[in-house]
Structure 1
């Protein structure tokens, strides 16, 4: 994730800290100092927040390790002020697998609470959350115990894309199918999100942020799943562009600019004399060369030699998932190592629009 700092790895998964998390810590320190707290109290509060987010990391790690059991990797876990985000390579499409992955996170918090319970229950753990007993004493452990309990309860809310919403979708998908189940779970998630926002406006502003996150998360997931359903029976060969502009490695930047003006392509594929794709000249690379007045520079000195390709028989749902991770997706389509076409974000969107129109 952009604007995030890599702070370590757990089980081979990169852990990132978003810069806004540092703002949270800064605000916490400022609030404690303004309240007149001494340095011990400030350190207690900061230490508690760090312990809380360590529990959040373990929660996300639970999701990730369960997903790994089903052959699904995790690109990263990112800590945000509103919680953690495990970025899986893909979501499980089998309902049982999604159910287990969704339950694995809260199960970690249940385990943490059970570990803490014997230490804090005999000492009055149920009198409330407080840090007045010291940094490593009863107050700290009691608060951490209750926070894990609340994480379980909060994540159980059936507001997609939270864990409870994913559990609901998995259960519904066993009978209704994934697209219909997603639509129902996302609709309920949006309704609950609106409730969060309205309640938060008058009582707890922090809920407004959570409500917005839940609303757009539910909307995005629903759109993604419905799109995948529309693409399910198609391959890259069905959606690829077959009329496109190309360049030779020895063409100049002036020729590349003229070629760009001759069509609507944003990126230009570079082919060697044998017709093999050897590079991509993106619009930003071309513009940078023109600004430097490199009109006579050969394309091969500017083009990017690192680009992804897809096979003509690849499932369009897989191509779509890859395109979502790349805002300016551009994939040469190959068949037996020979170029057959191009897929980019624009023609994928147009193909989806046509399929949606035909499905009604």
Structure 2
């Protein structure tokens, strides 16, 4: 997530704070500072009133961190890769790659967070006021996350329970439908009683749509490899040509990115972003991106799309045995998905999408 800074590393997982966290911490601090017991500390004298208010605001996000860390540790146990945990204005998110689709594993990962929050909610029964309030908010966190709607944990719990009977894709669509319905009801209710509910409902509705789109895309692209969609033998450029030459090539060829090859090996990639502010007489080697992310012809198309989204790039060179054999762009994949979606109900003839012949890499 952009505008996030790393604050620590736990169990091999980077924990980051989004800039929006500062805003919500200030709001929560004010709420606890202004409210009367049992949901605030207005009865205390400063500086204890301020100290308790700040501590409670921070403790809520520590509880969110424990919640997300529980998801992450169970996911790691099942072999999934956890990239990071990000704390932001709406709580937190654990970025887990390739969450297992097996119902039991998805259920275990999804339920781990609410279970951890329920355990922390036991502080509700302590005689100490601060800890009781901490326990109360953990109880709310657990219950809220069990709402059967994406991107809440309850949406994944519901899908895991439905998958065995309906299959993964249909179970996702049913869960998404339930989530959308609940989001609409919550949004309408919020318009009359609490605008925050409407904002949360919008967040839930968007999350449901994104989950449905991601699963639909994965289903559509499941049988395709990069070799089926890539442009083979792409135009490559030498690192010693000028920026002016690259710009002219972009204008002529209408492609906005080219692999940079030296002695037959990939050494970088030059895109419109690299040359837009560069001097015309500067050579490509000085402006190109050197940390090139590549895929092989056997990489799945959906995986290639996921990598582009994660790295925020629009195209990937396709490399086989240290040689550039193709290039695949986000637009290539989206066009394929759009075509497949139109003909989703029509059975495929079994033939793969044929690659379009291009210029030889030189």
TM class by shorter chain equals: 0.7 to 0.9
The question of whether the paired residues in 2 share the 8 Å contact of 1:186 and 1:218 is answered with yes
Deviations 1:162-203 (A, max 9, x none): 111100011111121111111111111111112222112221
Q: Which residue of 1 aligns with 2:272?
A: 283
Question: Cα–Cα, structure 1 residues 33 and 164, in superposed 2: closer, same or farther, change >3 Å?
Answer: closer
Q: Which runs of 4+ in 1 moved over 6 A?
A: 32-36
Residue-pair matches, total: 337
The question of whether the paired residues in 2 share the 8 Å contact of 1:59 and 1:106 is answered with yes
User: For residues 25 and 54 of structure 1, what CA distance do their matches in structure 2 show?
Assistant: 12
1:25 is displaced (CA, Å) by: 2.6
Q: Aligned to 1:245, what secondary structure does the other structure show?
A: coil
1:60 is displaced (CA, Å) by: 0.3
The question of whether the paired residues in 2 share the 8 Å contact of 1:72 and 1:90 is answered with yes
Q: Which moved more, 1:4-13 or 1:154-163?
A: 4-13
1:63 is displaced (CA, Å) by: 0.1
Question: Cα–Cα, structure 1 residues 90 and 199, in superposed 2: closer, same or farther, change >3 Å?
Answer: same
User: For residues 107 and 203 of structure 2, what CA distance do their matches in structure 1 show?
Assistant: 22
Q: Which moved more, 1:259-268 or 1:320-329?
A: 320-329
Q: Which residue of 1 aligns with 2:212?
A: 222
User: For residues 205 and 42 of structure 1, what CA distance do their matches in structure 2 show?
Assistant: 27
TM-score, normalization by structure 2: 0.87
Q: Aligned to 1:249, what secondary structure does the other structure show?
A: coil
User: For residues 281 and 144 of structure 2, what CA distance do their matches in structure 1 show?
Assistant: 61
Q: Which residue of 2 aligns with 1:47?
A: 55
Q: Which residue of 1 aligns with 2:349?
A: none
* Structure 2 unmatched ranges of 5 or more: 36-40, 346-362
Does residue 83 (structure 1) correspond to residue 91 (structure 2)? The answer is yes
Q: Aligned to 1:78, what secondary structure does the other structure show?
A: strand
Which of 97, 101, 107 pairs up with 2:105?
Answer: 97
What does 1:141-152 align with in structure 2 at a 5 Å threshold?
141-152=131-142
Question: Cα–Cα, structure 1 residues 29 and 248, in superposed 2: closer, same or farther, change >3 Å?
Answer: same
User: For residues 334 and 28 of structure 2, what CA distance do their matches in structure 1 show?
Assistant: 44
Which of 125, 139, 153 pairs up with 1:163?
Answer: 153
* Structure 1 unmatched ranges of 5 or more: 124-137
Question: Cα–Cα, structure 1 residues 28 and 334, in superposed 2: closer, same or farther, change >3 Å?
Answer: closer
Which of 289, 295, 318 pairs up with 1:304?
Answer: 289
Question: Cα–Cα, structure 1 residues 142 and 191, in superposed 2: closer, same or farther, change >3 Å?
Answer: same
What does 1:186-335 align with in structure 2 at a 5 Å threshold?
186-242=176-232, 244-274=234-264, 276-289=265-278, 294-335=279-320
The question of whether the paired residues in 2 share the 8 Å contact of 1:245 and 1:259 is answered with no
Q: Which residue of 2 aligns with 1:128?
A: none
Q: Relative to total residues, which structure has the larger helix share, 1 or 2?
A: 1
**CA RMSD across the alignment:** 2.0
TM-score, normalization by structure 1: 0.88
Question: Cα–Cα, structure 1 residues 33 and 358, in superposed 2: closer, same or farther, change >3 Å?
Answer: closer
